[in-house]
Amino acid sequence: MISYVDFRKDILNKKTNTVDFVKSIFIKIEEKKHLNAFISLNYENAIKQAEESDKRFSNNTPRLAEGMIVAVKDNISVKGLKMTCASKILENYEALYDATVVTKLKEAGAIIIGKCNLDEFAMGSSNENSYFGNVLNPLNEDYVPGGSSGGSAVAVAASLCHISLGSETGGSVRQPASFTGLYGVKPSYGRVSRYGLTAFGSSLDQVGIFSSNLEDLSLALDIISGEDEYDSTSVKKEKLDTLSYLNNIDENEKITIGVVDEELLKHSDFDVLEIYQNAVAKLEKAGHKIVEVEFPFSKVWIPTYYIIATAEASSNLSRYDGVRFGFRAEVEEGEDLIKLTRSQGFGAEVKRRILLGTYVLSEGHHDAFYLKALKARRVIFNNYKEIFNKVDTVFMPTTPSCAFKFNSKADNPIAMYMSDFYTASANLAGVPAISLPLGVNNDNMTIGMQLQTDNFKESEMIKYSKIIEDVLGK
C-alpha cells in the first residue's frame, strides 16, 4: 500500500482524493475478508471523515494526518463502535467515548476505518484465542500472524490501512510486527495515554503502532504522545517530535550498539540467529561500535512477566461479572450468576490467566510469588539502566522464531509463552522498543530485530532505526 507520506503528496498534486481512496480500501477489506482482520467496520463515518478531509485539502488547510487511514485494535475505545475485546462477554458492548489516542488522531485528520481482531482481552501470542476466530497471516495463511494484536498487524500487512493501533503488555505489537514484516513500536511506559485502553496488566499495558515504513510510524507516534489529564500514569513531557530526528540524519554518525551474548541467543532458531549475527557483522563493518551487554537475570524475564501480568489481569477482569454490563448468563434458581457468566463468557486462555493470577495473589502465595516478582522487576529495571550507561541502544531479536503454523503450540502453553522471551523485559522495565523487518527465512516468512533505548528516548530510537536500516537495507 502507498505510504501516507506519498498518499498525501498525491492528494496535494490532485492525483487522487480521499473519498475515492477510502472507498477503495473498503473494497479491499471485503476482498480480503477471509483474513478475519476486522471485527467491525466504520464505513459511513469514514466516508464523512474523508469528505471533510477533501474539503480541507481543497482549502489548503490540511491537518497533520489529514486523510490517514487508521485501523484500531478492538480493545481500544472508539465512540459509537463496538468494543468487544474479541470476547463473548463483550460481544455487543458499544464504546461510549474515544480513547485519548483516538481523539488525538481524529483531531489530526486521521480516518478510523474499523476495529481489529485480537486474542481475547489481549491474552495470547498467536491470535488463536479470539471469540471471532483466527486471524490469518497474509504472507502464508497456514501461519499465525502473531498476537495479541494480530488483526492490527494484518490490517497493515494486507494493505488495508496506512497505520494501525495495537496494544502491548509483553510484546503484543513487536511480535506480530516481526511475524508479518512490519515496523512495530512500543513507547516508554507513560509516554502515550492508556485512557480508553481496556486493562489487562495495568502496569505493563501500552498503546503501540504498526506501519510499513518508519515515516508513517514516526508521524503517528508524535501525534498520540504527550501527557493526558485522564491518565494518571502519563508523564509530564512534551509531545514527541521523532519526525524531525528522522528527517535530519547525519550519514556519518556512529552509534554504540549493545548486542546480546550466546547464552541469550540460544533461545533463537537458526534462521533468526543467522540474520542477527549477519546484521551485527555488517553494523560493525560500517563503523558502529559493538559492545556485548549482559542480562544476567534473563531467566526470570518470563516468570516475572507472567506473574505480574496475570495477577493484574485477575484483578482487572473481576468487573466482568454479568451484573453491571456485558454478557449475562441465563441462570436457574439457586445457580451462581457470576460463576456461570464468567464460565460461559471467557475463553480458555483468559480463564487460565485469571486462575494463575488469583493463585499468585492468594494468601500463602502472595509473598512467595507476587512480591518476589515485583522485586525481580526492579532488578531488571536497574539492569537496563546500567546497560544504557554504556550503549546508545540494545539490538536483539524480536522473537525466538518466525511465525509458526496454527495449532502447533496449542497444547503447550509454556512454549507459547516463550514467544515473548525477547520482548517482555522491555515492558517490565518500561523502556521503548521497536521491531524492524530485517530478513526472511527459506520459507519467505519474515524475521524482525528490535532496538531498545533508555526511557523516553523514542526520538533517538527512531533515528537509530533509520541509521541501522540504511546499513542493513530493508
Active site residue 148: yes
The active-site residue out of 32, 53, 73, 106 is 73
Grid cell of 161 as nine digits:
490501512
Active site residue 3: no
Nearest to 85 by CA among 275, 331, 325: 325
Nearest to 64 by CA among 216, 175, 167: 216
Give the span between the Cα atoms of 370 and 360, in whole angstroms.
6
CA 87, 88, 94, 96 torsion-angle sign: negative
Give the span between the Cα atoms of 71 and 52, in whole angstroms.
18
The active-site residue out of 148, 149, 193, 298 is 148
In sequence order, the 6+-apart residues with CB closer than 8 A to the CB of 220 are 65, 68, 70, 105, 163, 209, 211
Active site residue 362: no
Kindly report the three-state secondary structure assignment for every residue of the chain.
CCCHHHHHHHHHCCCCCHHHHHHHHHHHHHHCHHHCCEEEECHHHHHHHHHHHHHHHHCCCCCCCCCCEEEEECCECCCCCECCCCCHHHCCCECCCCCHHHHHHHHCCCEEEEEECCCHHHCCCCCCCCCCCCCCCCCCCCECCCCCCHHHHHHHHCCCCCEEEEEECCCCCHHHHHHHCCEEEECCCCCECCCCECCCCCCCCEEEEEECCHHHHHHHHHHHECCCCCCCCCCCCCCCCHHHHHCCCCCCCCCEEEECCHHHHCCCCHHHHHHHHHHHHHHHHCCCEEEECCCCCHHHHHHHHHHHHHHHHHHHHHHCCCCCCCCCCCCCCCCCHHHHHHHHHCCHHHHHHHHHHHHHHCCCCHHHHHHHHHHHHHHHHHHHHHHHCCCCEEEEECCCCCCCECCCCCCCHHHHHHHHCCCHHHHHHCCCEEEEEEEECCCCCEEEEEEECCCCCHHHHHHHHHHHHHHHCC
The active-site residue out of 53, 87, 172, 298 is 172
Give the span between the Cα atoms of 19 and 287, in whole angstroms.
48
Catalytically active residues, by annotation? 73, 148, 172
